[in-house]
Structures are given as structure tokens and as C-alpha cells.
Amino acid sequence: MKIRRSTRTMLVAFAFLAPNFIGFCTFTLGPVAFSFGAAFTNWTLARTVPLQFVGFENFVRMANTPEFWVYTANTVYLMLGIPFSIAGSLFLAILLSGPIRGRIAFRTLFYLPTFTAGVALFVLWKKLFNPDFGPINLVLESVFGLPDELTPGWLSSTRNLIGLSVESIGFEARQWGLGARDAIMIMGIWVAVGGGNMLLYLAGISNIPQELYEAAEIDGAGPWSRFRHVTWPQLAPTTFFIIVMSFIGGLQGGFEQARVMTLGGPAGTTTTLAYHIYVKAFEEFQIGYASAVAWVLFLLIFAVTAVSWRFGSKHVSY
């Protein structure tokens, strides 16, 4: 008996797909469904109470816990570095696109922090930020003559640049300064400026037709004008993509930094949503509640993506 050709192709396709698809179902699709279910239960690994569905209780509890909102604010605060890092990436990409020797050497160097980012690098920055012995404060004292009591407390301080208060959402004058969140933000900018975003901008710039610049030059456009009317609009799709990806990354970020550098402190100021989920799930074993927070994070990311798709298709054009 002869099997039909299309059936045969389908069997072959399934055979090729199977290893990946089984793994995909086991470790991605299944867990997503499972985690959605778990978010509506009181599941804890300690099992002090019988497992049962509790409806929206986890979500209600979350909304009524001030810490949850503080951690959300922390997450958003750390994302304030994103515009600076994107602007820096664009700036570097423009410089590197000029008539520069050693372009590859510079590019390699700038990309190094992104490539090596991880526990070792975070341990390094923890040392750099040490308020008493770290080189950053030593430079502030010996080179810039800042008196000891004025140097920032960095990772041990709850202060921040917008005066966000500690235990609730609000602002306090005495919270102004440079603290743990700023340290992590500064480190994040240092890591990201010469990273993937810069490479994307470099690729974007090399794709801009040279005629546009020639035409602008004939019209007498100066460097700023060429940037404003040629480079920037031509790079709009790249910028848009980078902003969306940075937002998505930022919302999920901060876990490694918190675990390695601060354990979420001082006073929870570096606890982001991702680190909060880790603590709830793997230190307090509240699987149900942690899943609920994870789903809130997922919905936030989903919302950002959905809104940006809408906005993107309307406003970004070539």
C-alpha cells in the first residue's frame, strides 16, 4: 500500500519537529498553562493548608500589599536609565559611522560589558560601589575633593535621584541623593550603552541611502540638520524596536543585580518584580502567590507590546 505524498511529507515534518516540539510543550507551553492555574491557588511547598482554588485572592492580596507597589516602583525607577542608555548608543553609533580608524577595535571594546555581564561583573561593581573602600568614592574624595560625609552611600543607601520614599509610594526631601537604585541604574547604563542597541543603530545607519545625505548637503544642511531630518527619521523603526525591547527587558530585569549585589535591600529598595517573584517562590515557597505576581508581570509586558504594535504601525514610517 502506498502512503499519499502529502501524508508522507506531514509525517516527515512531524518527525523533524518532534524533538523540539516535545521540549517546547514540556518546558514552555505546559508550564505557561500550569502557572496560570497555579496563580489562582493557595499552593505553597510547605503545605500547611490544603491545596485549593482561591479565585482572585492572590491578586487582591497583591493589590493590598504596599510592598508590591513599592517593588513595582523600583522596577520602573530602574528603567529610568533606559533613555540615557539608548541616547548613548545612538551617539556612539553615529560617531562610529563617521570616517574613523579603528572602528572594529572601538566596537569590540564597547561591546565587552554586555558580553561579560553576569555574576562576575556584578560582584566587580559591588566592590566599585563600596562606600568606604570602593574606587568610585575614593576618586570622589581624592580627585574631586568631596568630603567623606558627602560621598554617596551607593548600594547601602535608600536615597535616590527623585526622592522616592522607602515604605510607600511618595516623595520625601531627605531621600534625595544617590543610593542603591542609582548605583544599579548607572551600572546598567555602563553595560548597555555599547551593547546590542549600538550594533542595531550601526546597522540602521549603514542602511540609510547615501543619496539622502548628499541631497541634504546640496540643500545646505549642517550636521545637526542632517541628523534631525535624515538620520533620526530614517532610524525611527530601529529606535522603536529598541525602545520596545528595552521596556520588555526592563520590566523583567533586576533579578541578578539584586541577588548578587544587594539581596533586594536596603529596605527593599532594589527589589524588582522579578526578584520579588524569586523570593516568594524559592525562598518562601509561596508558589501560588509567586505565580500570580509572574502573571501580572506578563500582562504588563503584554500590554507594552500590544500598545507599541498599535502605536508603531501608525506612527513609524520610512
Interacting positions 4-23 with another protein (CB under 8 A) = 6, 9-10, 12-14, 16-17, 19-21, 23
Residue type, 202: L
| Residues near 197 by beta carbon (within 8 Å), at least 6 away in sequence | 85, 86, 89, 242, 246
- Cell (9 digits) for 144: 574631586
Which C-beta is closer to another protein: that of 79 or that of 274? 274
Residue ranges in 248-287 that form contacts with another protein under rule CB under 8 A? 248, 251-252, 255-256, 259-260, 274, 277-278, 281-282, 287
Applying CB under 8 A, does 190 fall inside the site for another protein? yes
H-type alpha helices, the chain: 5-24, 30-38, 57-64, 66-78, 82-97, 103-116, 119-128, 135-142, 180-192, 196-206, 210-218, 223-226, 232-234, 236-252, 255-257, 273-278, 287-315
180 or 287: whose CB is closer to another protein?
A: 287
Grid coordinates representing 28 are: 514552555
**Which residues lie closer than 8 Å to 272 by C-beta, 6 or more apart?**
71, 74, 75, 78, 253, 254, 255, 258
Nearer to another protein, 62 or 202 (CB): 202
Pick from 51, 119, 303, 307: which binds another protein (CB under 8 A)? Answer: 119
130 vs 165, which CB is nearer to another protein? 130
Do residues 266 and 157 lie in contact, with contact meaning Cβ atoms separated by under 8 Å?
yes
β-partners of residue 176 are 160
Of 51, 60, 87, 139, the one binding another protein by CB under 8 A: 139
84 binds another protein (CB under 8 A): no
CB 105, min distance to another protein, A: 9
- Which range binds another protein by CB under 8 A, 49-57, 158-166, 178-186, 198-206? 198-206
Residue from 110, 179, 183, 239 touching another protein (CB under 8 A): that is 110
CA distance 176 to 165: 9
- The residue from 48, 49, 64, 98 that contacts another protein (CB under 8 A) is 98
Min separation Cβ 45 and another protein, Å: 8
Residue 222 beta carbon to another protein: minimum distance, rounded to whole angstroms: 5
170 neighbors 141 (Cβ within 8 angstroms): no
Distance of CA 185 to the CA centre of its chain: 10
By C-beta, is 174 or 211 nearer to another protein? Answer: 211
Please name which of 137, 183, 118 lies closest in space to residue 157, comparing C-alpha atoms: 183
What is the dihedral angle through the alpha carbons of 226, 232, 234, 239, rounded to the nearest 10 degrees? 160
Nearer to another protein, 9 or 168 (CB): 9
| 309 lies in the binding site for another protein (CB under 8 A) | no
* Contact pick of 140, 146, 221, 267 for another protein (by CB under 8 A): 221
153-172 binders of another protein (CB under 8 A)? none
